[in-house]
């Protein structure tokens, strides 16, 4: 059994792990990334938000991504029966990126790790973290198992847990906490989109609302493949019987808008089911470690915030670790936990209000209020720390309040 010493051990090579690794390596720290799978590997999370472009740019990972010609996402469309609500990221309250991508994650994540490897970052694939011991000062000894079953140890001053749904430290340190969101589940696959219409209509990312808790995502990729996924209450999704393909086919029939486009289209892989996908933790950091991305928190796919939180938290964690290793004081509670929770709280309100129906009232209300639309658009672009935006600053009450006004207007006109 060998022992290796590093400054920072990163668990997982998804976008969170890659962004953290890129930053720390640039700062001259000794970093090791341990990844359980061999890349490319499938993972869900294909619709990005403009905010994450800031992170990739800052750690110089944007150029390698630009070369991949991913489908550009410059907004998002929500449908509900005949009602349509289109968001255009160039019309938003907060300054910042007005586009991003729709990406097949197998290719996206491999592009990031290939780039890091060419820069000399140490990434070990097909190696799994199975145990971690911390001493009183926060120094850790991590046991890693390779594909031959051999075990090695890595000693680190800090661990960044970016293991996504692997949730390595939340499991090992008993940090798991039930999410306060509703029990929602999902089933998804990729299709060769042979009936895709030409132009904007064919490539626009769309969320088709079936009912209050139930919706379908359609995320077209530049390759001609499209990701389709169905989301609903766990109870509703469990009421469908048969194989996962049979279930998804039956669910697709419930979409008036898309049932024809995807009728009889072959699934590229057996649809994957994730039950009760929302996750939370008791704390985001501890002595010698920090949790980033999905390992820390996952809310809901409805506003595509997952990857953006993964990169936001990774970049911040990497900066704070660098500061700490330079012997500067870091207040992890304020500088990391409070900051991340602020953004998570904003999105959590939007997710909750989506499923109460209040936000759907705002989205589909006609005539649209252009100012409100710009402010909500900034939230949907991931700029959830901009307190000049009333829909960020007053998120707890504003969505509810505007929905109430819409209800009153409706009552008056009836």
Instruction: Kindly list the residues in this chain that would bind ligand FAD in the complex (CB under 6 A).
Output: 11-17, 34-37, 43-48, 128-129, 162-166, 168, 186, 229, 274, 277, 293-295, 298, 301, 304, 306-308, 310
Distance in Å, CB of 113 to ligand FAD, minimum: 9
Distance in Å, CB of 163 to ligand FAD, minimum: 4
Q: Which is nearer to ligand FAD, 86 or 406 (CB)?
A: 86
How many angstroms separate the CA atoms of 332 and 17, rounded? 19
Distance in Å, CB of 182 to ligand FAD, minimum: 14
How many angstroms separate the CA atoms of 159 and 145, rounded? 17
How many angstroms separate the CA atoms of 171 and 16, rounded? 18
Q: What angle do CA 346, 348, 353 make, to 5 degrees?
A: 100
Both tokens of residue 38?
């061999």
Q: Which is nearer to ligand FAD, 108 or 363 (CB)?
A: 108
Q: Which is nearer to ligand FAD, 47 or 226 (CB)?
A: 47
141: helix, coil or strand?
Answer: strand
Identify whether the C-beta of residue 62 lies closer than 8 Å to the C-beta of residue 53: yes
Distance in Å, CB of 353 to ligand FAD, minimum: 19
The number of angstroms, rounded, from the C-alpha of 315 to the middle of its chain's C-alpha atoms is 15
How many angstroms separate the CA atoms of 31 and 21, rounded? 7
Both tokens of residue 169?
């430290």
Q: Which is nearer to ligand FAD, 94 or 292 (CB)?
A: 292
Q: Which is nearer to ligand FAD, 18 or 349 (CB)?
A: 18
Distance in Å, CB of 162 to ligand FAD, minimum: 5
For 103, residues 6+ apart whose C-beta sits below 8 A from its C-beta are 46, 48, 68, 70, 71, 221
Name the nearest CA neighbour of 307 among 88, 64, 108. Answer: 108
Identify whether the C-beta of residue 244 lies closer than 8 Å to the C-beta of residue 187: yes
Distance in Å, CB of 165 to ligand FAD, minimum: 6
Q: Which is nearer to ligand FAD, 296 or 398 (CB)?
A: 296
Q: Which is nearer to ligand FAD, 19 or 402 (CB)?
A: 19
Distance in Å, CB of 76 to ligand FAD, minimum: 10
How many angstroms separate the CA atoms of 306 and 277, rounded? 12
Distance in Å, CB of 402 to ligand FAD, minimum: 26
What is the largest distance, in Å, between two alpha-carbon atoms of the chain? 76
Name the packing angle between helices 51-58 and 306-325 (round to 10°). 40
For 151, residues 6+ apart whose C-beta sits below 8 A from its C-beta are 1, 130, 143, 144, 145
Q: Which is nearer to ligand FAD, 48 or 210 (CB)?
A: 48
């Amino acid at each position: 059994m060998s022992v290796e010493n590093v400054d920072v051990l990163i668990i997982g090579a998804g976008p969170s792990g890659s962004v953290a690794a890129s930053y720390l390596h640039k700062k001259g720290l000794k970093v090791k990334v341990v990844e359980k799978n061999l890349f490319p590997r499938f993972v869900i999370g294909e619709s990005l938000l403009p905010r994450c472009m800031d992170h990739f740019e800052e750690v110089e990972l944007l150029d390698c991504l630009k070369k991949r010609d991913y489908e550009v996402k410059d907004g998002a469309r929500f449908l509900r029966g005949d009602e349509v609500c289109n968001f255009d990221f160039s019309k938003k309250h907060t300054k910042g990126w007005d586009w991003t991508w729709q990406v097949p994650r197998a290719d996206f994540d491999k592009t990031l790790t290939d780039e890091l490897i060419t820069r000399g970052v140490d990434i070990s694939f097909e190696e799994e973290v199975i145990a971690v011991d911390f001493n009183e000062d926060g120094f850790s000894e991590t046991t890693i198992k390779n594909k031959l079953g051999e075990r090695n140890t890595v000693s680190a001053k800090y661990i960044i847990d970016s293991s996504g749904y692997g949730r390595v430290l939340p499991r090992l340190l008993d940090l798991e906490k039930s999410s306060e969101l509703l029990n929602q589940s999902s089933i998804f696959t990729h299709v060769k989109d042979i009936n895709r219409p030409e132009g904007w209509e064919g490539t626009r990312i769309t969320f088709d609302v079936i009912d209050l808790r139930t919706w379908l995502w359609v995320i077209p990729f530049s390759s001609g493949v499209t990701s389709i996924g169905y989301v609903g209450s766990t109870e509703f999704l469990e009421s469908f019987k048969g194989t996962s393909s049979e279930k998804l086919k039956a669910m697709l029939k419930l979409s008036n808008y898309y049932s024809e486009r995807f009728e009889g289209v072959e699934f590229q892989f057996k649809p994957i089911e994730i039950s009760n996908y929302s996750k939370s933790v008791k704390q985001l950091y501890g002595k010698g470690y920090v949790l980033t991305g999905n390992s820390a928190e996952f809310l809901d796919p409805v506003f595509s915030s997952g990857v953006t939180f993964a990169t936001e938290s990774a970049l911040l964690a990497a900066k704070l670790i660098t500061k700490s290793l330079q012997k500067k004081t870091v207040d992890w509670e304020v500088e990391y936990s409070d900051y991340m929770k602020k953004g998570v709280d904003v999105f959590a309100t939007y997710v909750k209000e989506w499923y109460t129906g209040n936000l759907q009232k705002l989205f589909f209300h006609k005539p649209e209020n252009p100012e409100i639309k710009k402010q909500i658009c900034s939230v949907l672009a991931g700029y959830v720390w901009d307190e000049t935006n009333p829909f960020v600053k007053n998120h707890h009450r504003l969505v509810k309040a505007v929905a109430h006004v819409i209800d009153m207007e409706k009552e008056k006109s009836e």
